Structure 1
Amino acid sequence: MTADVWLPIPPKDVEGLPDGLTYRFWDGGETFPADPADCSFYVVPYMKPSGVGVRPLARMTSVQVVQTLSAGIDHVEPGLGHLPPGVRLCNARGVHEASTAELTLTLILASLRGIADFVRAQDRGEWLSGFRPALADKNVLIVGYGSIGEAIEDRLTPFELARVARVARSGRTTARGPVQPLTDLPALLPDADVVILSTPLTETTRGLVDAEFLARMKDGALLVNVARGPVVDSKALLTELESGRITAALDVTDPEPLPSGHPLWQAPGLLISPHVGGPTSAFLPRAKRLLVDQLHRFVNQEPLRNVILTTGAKGA
């Protein structure tokens, strides 16, 4: 097989790439490394502004695989209509679970224990003592129970929780217990002390956390969003935060990046991190392992991992 592969990581930095392929380095720059029409396997640049990763897709007439380095695929969906039929779109399942789950626990603990307040008090030289909520004995609801949701529960397990409820698009049974369908959310929300959003952004989940969703959350509950910003209605969340009824921690926002002067920056009871769930020291080793494995499968004509959809297929 002779084919161009576009990588957003310099090929010399990735050990174990299979022979027989021509590797091109492109990390979203203005100039393409070669003719996009010759690309067979395209790895989308990671953490680039909206529109960068889809720019070459219309010219990739020979592409067979589009591989993201993110768990979500919403940033490439606008360009899928330009692709020929039969192109497999794969996500980065297995790359971000550890980092995103770590950040989720960080946001929960920092919010409950008031770490942001302590940091501000330290800047003032003030000893800010007081009583704070613990994670122990809390009811936690995970909305979006894919591989990241599972990794989050892995890390919640030692914290002596009262209960973990799990919700996904459709119900199923796992070794840890039932996963309930999205239709059960209204009944589950009033009991949850912490609601974690780790769902992909789809037409079903866009605006899922609206005024009605938030109104069903119990007084004093914490909302944590490590999914995508548009899963949450920012205006509805702001209303609840300003009332002081609930608190929140957001790694993602709508809009994103959150512009200076946006009212969310000053909202009471809100902790914001700038979409840093994935980009940590854990990213590159896992991303490289995924790419090496996928490219060996591609060369050997073996089934690829993490195929989300195939263009031109029914329902794609």
Structure 2
Amino acid sequence: MPERPQALFAMTAQNVPHLFPPDLLARLRACLDIDPALVVQDFTGPRVRAALARTEVLVTGWGCPRLDPAVLDAAPGLRAVLHAAGSVKGFTTPGVWERGIVVSSAAAANALPVAEYALAVILLAGKDVFASRDRLRARRAAHPYGEIVPGLGNFGRRVGVVGASRVGRRLIELLRPYDLTVTLADPYVDAPEAARLGVALLPLDELLRTADIVTLHAPETAGTRHLIGARELALMPSGAVLVNTARGALVDHRALTGELRTGRLSAVLDVTDPEPLPADSPLYDLPNAFLTPHLAGSQGNELARLGRTVVEEAERLAAGEELRHAVDHTALNRAA
């Protein structure tokens, strides 16, 4: 039997049992020589340095320290990083790629719950559920049950997806069974690819003008900061809903607050800028702003899906097979 590669956990310690419940941990340890009692949150210290010196595989997650040149020098045998979360931009450095270290990410697995959240919000927004709940709460028994409300419903509702990211593409798949008209804005997607996705490709301004619900799935880059500002919000039709499950910085919150105060638009925000918002932010109290605390991504039992992705990658690595979720570092400048 071949010797198992030496591995080390590098992440927030309390997440390990959620990512790797007993059955998954057993599979991971069957293919990697890894100690679940040693979870690194700081690469300094003699015990950690000694572990790094023999580490071939890092199993990382949220809270992984930065892999700077000093850490890489301390781990001369490191050949793979298996990340049990989404983006690797926060902890990888140029040296990782220069040394030919393969990096795998569970971003595809993390995309599913975000897409599911966005789907649920889109369908609920089409029924005006958020405002209807508040009206019911205010009117109580006086609320007219069974009243037909013009403009409500999801038949033919126009949904604009901004960004054909993993989440954006997964959401497009989830939207297919519904009687919705779906459009896409993404500068990296051409018409043939949009046709393969089954959506109409539009410039961002045209998407904003024609969508009842706009859902953001673009990465945060220098070019996408405040992608949705005062000008873009003004393009959206009255009654439209903006959904953001991507990154808070995609939206100019000052401009959004001003637009929401007019009552013309609504917003569902799972991410904000800053995060969390200051306690005195008007977005907490505006009736047409629905906030959730960055929970669209993997939560609770969904973390095990991320762990399973890493375990499967570790099994491929141990078998000498190509990793299925290897990160293309040349595309990181336009990825989340």
Please indicate, yes or no, whether the TM-score normalized by the shorter chain is above 0.5: yes
Is residue 44 of structure 1 aligned with residue 56 of structure 2? Answer: no
Instruction: State the partner residue of 1:2.
Output: 5
Partner Cα separation in structure 2 for residue 74 and residue 235 of structure 1: 27
**1:276 aligns to 2:295 (yes or no):** yes
Aligned residues: 305
Secondary structure at 2:328 match in 1: strand
> SS of the counterpart of 2:173?
helix
3-state secondary structure, aligned to 1:136: coil
Alpha-carbon distance in 2 for matches of 1:28, 1:5: 8
Query: In structure 2, what residue type is equivalent to 1:44?
Result: T
Match of 2:201 among 180, 187, 196: 180
Give the 3-state SS of the residue equivalent to 1:287 in structure 2. helix
Matched, 1:212 2:208: no
Which one of 141, 154, 165 corresponds to residue 160 of structure 2? 141
Q: TM-score under structure 1 normalisation?
A: 0.81
8 Å CA contact 2:164–2:218 kept in 1: the answer is: yes
Q: Does structure 1 retain, via aligned residues, the 8 Å contact 2:131–2:288?
A: no
Q: Give, as a single letter, the amino acid of the residue that structure 1 aligns with 2:201.
A: Q
Once the 2 structures are TM-superposed, how far is the Cα of residue 87 of structure 1 from its aligned partner? 2.8
Report how far residue 269 of structure 1 moved: 1.0
RMSD: 3.4
2:56 counterpart SS class: strand
Q: Tell me the secondary structure at the aligned position of residue 64 of structure 2.
A: coil
The answer on whether the counterparts of 2:184 and 2:207 sit within 8 Å (CA) in structure 1 is: no
Stretch of structure 1 that moved more, 229-238 or 124-133: 124-133
Over 3 Å counting, the alpha-carbon distance change for 1:233 and 1:64 in structure 2 is farther
In the superposition, relative to structure 1, how do residues 201 and 224 fare at CA in structure 2: closer, same or farther (>3 Å)?
Answer: same
Contact 1:88 1:309 in 2 (8 A): no
1:65 aligns with 2:65: no
Between 95-104 and 166-175, report the one with greater CA deviation.
Answer: 166-175
Do the aligned partners of residues 193 and 114 (structure 1) sit closer, same or farther apart at CA in structure 2, a change above 3 Å counting? closer
Partner Cα separation in structure 2 for residue 207 and residue 65 of structure 1 = 35
Distance in 2 of aligned mates of 1:207 and 1:235? 10
Question: Pairwise mapping of residues 160-199 of structure 1 onto structure 2 (< 5 A)?
Answer: 160-161=179-180, 163-172=181-190, 173=193, 174-177=195-198, 180=201, 184-199=203-218
SS state at 2:154 partner: coil
Identity of aligned residues (%): 27
Give the secondary-structure state (helix, strand or coil) at the position aligned to 2:177. helix
Q: 2:200 & 2:79 partners in 1: Cα distance?
A: 34
Consecutive unaligned residues in structure 2, runs of 5 or more? none
Match of 1:21 in 2: 32
| Residue equivalent to 1:88 | 102
Correspondent of 1:158 among 174, 177, 186: 177
Partner of 1:49: none
Distance 2:274 2:318 in 1: 40
CA apart distance, 1:193 = 0.9
TM-score of the two chains, using structure 2 as the length reference: 0.76
**Which of 43, 54, 57 is equivalent to 2:65?**
54
Range that drifts further, 190-199 or 88-97: 88-97
Deviation at 1:164, TM superposition (A): 0.8
Answer with 1 or 2: which has the greater Rg: 2
User: Quick one: structure 1 residues 248 and 148, their matched pair in 2 at CA, closer, same or farther if it must change by over 3 Å?
Assistant: same
Partner secondary structure for residue 95 of structure 1: helix
**Secondary structure of the structure 2 residue equivalent to 1:166:** strand
| Structure 1 pair 28–270 and aligned structure 2 pair: CA distance change class (3 A) | farther
Contact conserved, 1:94 with 1:286, CA < 8 A, in 2?
A: no
Which runs of 5 or more residues in structure 1 are unaligned?
Answer: 47-51
SS in 1 for 2:140: coil
- Equivalent residue of 1:254, what SS? coil
Structure 1 stretch displaced more, 171-180 or 258-267: 171-180
Give a deviation string over 1:112-164, Cα, whole Å, max 9, x none: 43434455566668144463622222111111223322322233233311x21
Distance 1:301 1:75, change over 3 A: same
Deviation at 1:166, TM superposition (A): 1.8
